[in-house]
Structure 1
Amino acid sequence: MSALPFDIAAASVLGREHARAGRNNQDALCVRASEHGLVAVVADGCGSQACSELGAQLGVRGLVRAALARLAAGESVDAPDFLPALRQDVLLLLARLREDLGREAVKDFLFTVVGAVMTPASTLVFSAGDGVWALNGEVRSLGPFPGNAPPYLAYALVGGDDVPLIQQALLPTEDVHALLLGTDGVVDLEQLATTRMPEREECVGPLSRLWTEDRYFANPDALRRRLALLNRESVRADFATQCVVRTPGLLPDDTTLVVLRRRMGRA
C-alpha cells in the first residue's frame, strides 16, 4: 500500500429528489493506493439516463486502475501527456464495453469526473465536467454549465465533442495538507453551512469541518452517517394544528466526496 501520510474519509448519499423519484444514487467514488501512489476519483452520472450509475461506477474504477498502472510503469503525473493518456485509457475501456453492450449503452456512460493522483513527489488534481474540489481550505466549484449540461468524456464515443481531462492543480505533495474531491451535490452541502440539521439544534457548518474534525478519519463510517443524517426526512406531530409535519432532507442531489488529510506530525 501507499506510504503517503494521508488519512482518508469517503462517502456518498442518495439525493432527496432521486429518492422521491425512486432512482438509484448515480454518483460513484473509488480510492485505491499502491506502493507507487494514491488515486481518488468521484463521478456523477448523467441524470437523464436510466442507468447512468453504471457509467459512473465503470468510470471511477477505470480511471483509478489506469492511473495506478501508469504510475507502476514509471510515468510522472507532471508529464504533459499523462492526462491525455489517462483519458484515452478510459475511452478504450468504454469502447470495448460498447461493443459488448451495444451502441445505445453509450448513453449510460455519460459521467463527470473530479479526481486526484498523488505520488510522494507530486499531486495532480483533474476534472471533466462539474463538481467541487478544495485544496488546503480553498474551495473551488466547477460549473455550472449552460442548460445544466456539463461536458462528458464519453461524447467522443458517439462523434461528439472531444472532452479533455483538465488539470486543476499540480503541486508538490509536501504542500498538500487537505484535499477534498466532490460531485456537484457538494455545492448544495457548502451552501447549507448556516442551516439547522434535521431534528437537531446545531447547524450543518462549513465544509472545513470535513477535514478539520478528527471523527471523520477515526471512524470509517462517520462521514457516511453525517451525510445520511443531513438527508433524513424529519417527521413530527404539530399538536396545535393536529397535523403531521414532514421536513425533507437537505441535499436535493446525490452527494459524494473524498477527503484526504495529512496525518499529524508527518511530512
Structure 2
Amino acid sequence: MADSDVFTIAREEISSRLWLGSSMYPSPDIMVSAFASAQPGFVTMSLRRQTAGDLANNDYHERVNQWLGASQSRLLPNTAGCQSAKEAIQLAILARELFKTSWIKLEVIGDEYSLQPNVFELVSAARELSAQGFYVLPYCTDDLVVCESLLHAGCPAVMPWGAPIGTGKGIINPYQLRTLRARLPDTTIIVDAGIGRPSQAMQAMEMGADGVLLNTAVAKAANPVTMAGAFAAAVDAGRAAFHAGFMTERDMASPSTPVAGLPFWHTAMREGQHHD
C-alpha cells in the first residue's frame, strides 16, 4: 500500500489519489475547469474507434493535452471497449505511439450489459503488455484470485470496480474490498467505476483504498466543477480518516463524559432524571 504522504506506483510519484475521466463533459472548457478544481493524479482518455487524425482534430483531446502540460497530472490512455486480449494489446501499443506514455488503463469487457471485465482475456493482455514495458493498470472485478493473477502478470496496481460502470451505486460489496485490503496489504488498490457520490469515494478510502477513479459522477453533475472539488476533498478526508484509526464499534451506549469523579449531588441528580 502506498505511503500516506507520498503516493507512488511503479516507483513513480503520482500527484493525487483522485483520478478523473475525460468523457461526457458538457464542453471542453467545463472539463478543464473540473480538472483544475480536482487536480487529478491521472486523466483517462479512451482511444476506442479513434484514429490519430481524429485525435489531432478533437477539441477535448487538445484541451486535455494543454491541461496536462501545465499541471502535475498524467495522461492514462484507456483500452475501453476492447473485447479480447489481442484487441487491447494492439490499442495499447497504438496509445503508446500516439501519446508517448507507457501507462495504460487496461479494459477488456466480457459482458456488454454489465460491462464486467473478461478476467481471462484481461490477465492474458496484462501479462503481454507488462512484458513489453507497459505500466498496466487493469480495470477488474473485486475477486481476490483475479487481482492476485494480475499482480503476478506484472501489474503494479489493481483497479477493482466498486459497482458496474456508470451505475453510481458505490461500493456494492464492502466485504470484498476489505478482503482485498487485508490480503494484499502492500498492493496499490484503486477503486474504479460505480462511484456516484463523494461520500462513496470517502467510504472507499476509509476502507483502505489507495485511490479512486471516476468519470460520470463529475461529468454528468449539474455543476461538474464544484463536484470535482467535492470528490477531491472526500478522497483526502477518507484517506486521513483511514490513517487516523477509527473508534471501536460497541453494542451498548458509552457516555462521552464519564460520571466517575463528579460530585455526589450531580450523580444523584442524573440518576433521578433517568428514573423519572
The answer to whether the superposition gives a TM-score over 0.5 is no
Bigger proportion of residues as strand: 1
TM-score, L = length of structure 1: 0.31
Bigger proportion of residues as helix: 2
TM-score, L = length of structure 2: 0.30
